[in-house]
Chain A
C-alpha cells in the first residue's frame, strides 16, 4: 500500500512528490462531483425525453445546428491546444505554453460569443426557459455548462499570466495540469450536450 513520504519533512511544507499526487487526486475527485452535478440534469433529460419524444424531436429543430457544430469544433480544438500547453510546460517551454494557453482562452471566448448569439436568437423568437420542458432543459444544461466555461476562462487567464511570468517550469507545473484537466471536463460535457440537444432523431 502506498505510504505518504512525510517522514523527514518539518514544518508544513509537503514533499513535492506527495503534494503533486495529492493535488492530482483532489482534482479527479472534484471532477467526480462535477459529473454528479451534471448527472442530475442528464437524468432529468433521459426521463423527459422518454416521456415526450415528439416534443424533443420537434422543438430541437429550433436550435441552430451549425452554430452548435462550430462550437463543438472550437472546444475540441481548445482541448488539443490545452493538452499541448501542458506538455510544453512539462518540457520547460514556458513561452510556447503561455501562447497555447492564450489560444485555448481565445477559443473559450469564441465559444461564449457564439453562444451569446444563439441565446439572443432564441430570445428574439420568444423562446425562454419556461417555454417548454425541452427548452427548460436546453437553457439549464447549456447555462450550467456556460457557467463552467466562464470559470474556466478565469482559470486560464490566471494560468496564462503565471506561465508567462515564469512561475512554472519542468519541475513544477501542477496548476497548469489541473487547469487542463478541468478544461477537458468542460469540453467533454459539451461533447455530450451537443448530440443530446442538437442532433435528435
Chain B
C-alpha cells in the first residue's frame, strides 16, 4: 500500500458519537477503556462502601451494627469485588486499553473485535456476580476449602462469576502482548517504549499464564460442590491444602497483575513532573519482567502455617525475599529520578509520591511476612491486613488515582479543579494512614483478621482505624465529585498541558477516532527532559 492518502480528515474527537449502542458495539480501544473505567470504578465504590460498613461494625468490640454472619458476608464481598472486579482488571484494562495503542503509535490494538469481546465477557461476569450479591457467600475472597466446599451459602455463583472474568483477563492480556509485538510505529524500538508499555507487557504475560490456573481451580471447586468430586475433601482422600496451592499459584502472580501497571504509571508521571530523564530506564523495564518471573515461584509464602514441610517453607521464604530485589530497584530508580529534579507538585505527582512512600512500607512489611519466624506470629492477623492494604491502596490505588489525574485532560479533553484535587489527595493520604497504620500494631499484638468482635484492649486502635476510614472515604468522595464535575464544567484541555514527550500528548485532546492522522516516525525515547540523552535502540 504505497499510496500516501493525504490525510485531510477533519478532526473528530473519539467521544463525539453518542448513544448507548455506539458504546456497547465500539471497537475503539479508547472507548473500551472508558467502559472498563466506568465498570471498575463502580465496583470500587460499591466495595468501598461495604468496607466502610465493616469499619463501622469494628468501631466497638461487640457486634452491635451487623451480625457476625453478615460481617463474614461483607468481608467476602468486599474482598472479591475489590480484587477480582476492581483491582485486577482496574489499571490493566482501563488505562492499558486507552494508552497502549496511543503510546506505541498505533491506531488500535491488534484485535479490536476480540477486545470488545473481552469487555462483553467482563460484563457477563459482572451480571453473574450482581446476581450472586443476593445470595452472598461467606468464605472470604480466597474461597478456601474445606469451608467453601461445605458452607450453606452460595459459593458456586460468585466463583462462576470470577471464572468468567478470568477469560476476559486472559483475552485482554493476549491482545496486548500481540499489540506490543506487532503494532509499534516505525522507529519505536523496544528500548524506546514508554515504561508503562513494559509494565503492561509484563502484566499481560502474568494474565495469560496464571489466570487459567485459577480458572481450573474454581472449576474444580464448583465440581466439588456440584458433582461431589473430592480433590479437596479429606474424607474422599483429597487434600484441602491442594486448593491453597492452586489458588496462590494464581493469586500471588495476581498481586503483580495488580501492582505492575501502577508501577508503570509512576514511571510515566515522575519524569514529567521532575523535568528529568527517567533514571535507570532499562533497570525499570527489565525489573517488571523479573518480578513477573519470580512471582510464579513464591506462592507458598501464603501457606507457611498450613503444614507445608520445613524444607519447602525455607525455600519459599528465600524466594520471597528475591521478589523484593526487582521491586526495590524500581523504587531506587524513581527516587534517583526525583533527585535534583525541578519538581512540580501537580495532583498526579502527589499521588505518585504517595505511591513511593506507601508502597515502600507495604513492600517492606511483605518482607517481614516472608520471614518464617515472623510469619508464624503475624499470619492471619491485622498485620497482613495492613500489609496488603499498603500495597494495594498505597500502591495500586494511588497509581490508579495518579493515572486518572494525569491522563484525564487527554482522555476527556477537559480539566478538573486542581486545588480541589490536591485537597482530596491530602484527605486520601492522611485518611489512609490513619486507617491502616494502627493495624500493624494491632497485628503484632495478636488481633486476628476476619472477626466482627474483638477484646476490649484493642478498642482504641480499632476505633482510630474506623475514624481514619471516614477521612479516606471523604477524600475519595471529593475526588470523585471533582473529576465528574470537570467532565461537565471543566475548561477545555490543551493538547499537551505538561509538556510531555510521549506520543499520546502529541495529538489533540481528546484523540481523534483513529488516533494518528499520520503514523509517527519515532526517533527518540520519551524521557529526554532537560538535557538531551538517548538510550541506544
Contact = CB atoms under 8 A, between A and B. Distances in A.
B217 interface: yes
A176 to B, nearest CB: 18
Q: Select the residue from B7, B170, B178 with max chain A CB neighbours within 10 A.
A: B178
B212 A12 contact: no
B182 interface: yes
B412 interface: no
A26 B110 contact: yes
A77 to B, nearest CB: 29
Interface in B175-198: 175, 177-178, 181-187, 189-190
Given A1-B189, A133-B237, A12 B112 contact: yes
Contacts of B5: 10
Contacts of B537: 1
B185 A6 contact: yes
Interface size class of B (residues with CB under 8 A): 35 or more
A33 B514 contact: no
Interface string A1-45: 111101111111011001001100110011011101111110110
Nearest to B187: A3
Interface in B390-415: none
Contact of B216 (A41, A47, A130): A41
A9 B1 contact: yes
Contacts of A53: none
Contacts of B128: none
Interface stretch (B226-234, B298-306, B495-503): B226-234
Contacts of A47: 239, 242
B514 A128 contact: no
Nearest to A26: B178
B107 interface: yes
A136 interface: yes
Interface in A138-165: 139-140, 144
A37 B237 contact: no
A142 B11 CA distance: 55
Contacts of A9: 1, 519
Contacts of A136: 223, 229-231, 236
Given A1-B190, A52-B237, A22 B178 contact: yes
B4 interface: yes
A136 B211 CA distance: 23
B280 interface: no
A12 B108 CA distance: 7
A1 B210 CA distance: 28
A36 B237 contact: no
Contact of B519 (A6, A21, A55): A6
A7 B188 CA distance: 12
A132 B236 CA distance: 7
B208 interface: yes
A15 B1 contact: yes
A21 B223 CA distance: 38
Contacts of B2: 8
A26 B174 contact: yes
B206 to A, nearest CB: 11
A124 B380 CA distance: 47
A120 interface: no
Contacts of A195: none
B286 interface: no
A22 B110 contact: yes
Contact of A29 (B189, B208, B229): B208
Contacts of B187: 3
A29 B178 contact: yes
Nearest to B223: A140
B229 A6 contact: no
B237 A40 contact: no
B231 A33 contact: no
A156 B241 CA distance: 40
Given A1-B190, A11-B514, A25 B211 contact: no
A44 B107 CA distance: 44
A7 B209 contact: no
B405 to A, nearest CB: 31
A166 interface: no
Contacts of A140: 220, 223, 229
Given A3-B184, A9-B1, A34 B223 contact: no
A17 to B, nearest CB: 10
B381 to A, nearest CB: 30
A10 B7 CA distance: 9
A158 to B, nearest CB: 16
Given A15-B1, A36-B213, A3 B229 contact: no
Contact of B182 (A25, A30, A36, A144): A25
A130 B236 contact: yes
B393 to A, nearest CB: 30
A33 B181 contact: no
A18 B215 CA distance: 31
A170 B94 CA distance: 39
Contact of B183 (A4, A34, A51): A4
A37 B182 contact: no
A153 to B, nearest CB: 20
A52 B230 CA distance: 14
A187 to B, nearest CB: 19
The 6 closest A-B pairs by CB, nearest first: A130-B228, A40-B216, A37-B212, A36-B212, A136-B229, A129-B227
